Amino acid sequence: MFFNPQTLKHFATGEEAASFVAGEVVRACAKSIAERGVFHWVLAGGSTPELCYRLLRDADMDWAKVHVWFGDERALPLGHADRNETMARNALLDGVAIPAANIHSIDFANGTQAAASIYAHDIAGIDGFDLVMLGMGEDGHTASLFPNHDTLQSNDLTIAEFDSPKPPSERVSMGFKALNNHKQCFILATGASKKEPLQAIQNGADLPVTHIENAVWVVDNAAWQTS
């Protein structure tokens, strides 16, 4: 378990939390491009990440050198409204000058297992991620890594999930090996629905999200009460 409350960043609202993370993305991007000429960024689904993406539409980022990846994706056709990628495109990617080749989609055209294998091959071609954004579900899952699933023990870069407790049942997720290969990671846990799992984590619960190493937890008043 890697939860460290000392890394926690507390904000009054989800909007303020999203603004903080957006600023960290801009700084990390500039630093990575200055040092290595590229910025590899893992995107998350969810309402607070979406707020963050919308704030970045007018950010001063060298989009030609930004590569975006997806921590997980639902087994749905490209362009489907329920895909994480579609949300990210609507909120940010379709409004900035990022090359199409720099958006690393998870494509299910040949099935879920093939999608996972191809994505693992793509991930293996880079040294790691400069910044990973993750959310947390009410059951303590992150990406599509769910409690009490055998896939949690996997050392693979990607996971083909066929029995998700949330629809659709089939998904592809980065595994812990990939998600933990980062320079920075932010776990966004905002809103009242995150209060119970955060309390459980404080009490030592071993949930999938607690297996993310060296993460900064970003919370709001609805999720985390200090008094």
Domain map (residue ranges) of the chain: 5-220
| Confidence tier at 226 by pLDDT (50, 70, 90) | low
The per-residue pLDDT of the chain, averaged, comes to 95
The domain 5-220 is placed in CATH, from the list 3.20.20.450, 3.40.50.1360, 3.30.450.20, 1.10.760.10, at 3.40.50.1360
Instruction: Give residue 2's Cα distance to chain centre.
Output: 17
The string of pLDDT tens digits covering residues 53-77 is: 999 999 999 999 999 999 999 999 9
Residues in Cβ contact with 27 at an 8 Å cutoff, skipping those fewer than 6 apart: none
Distances (CA, A) of 120 to 79, 153, 170, 176, 208: 21, 17, 17, 12, 20
| pTM of the model as a whole | 0.96
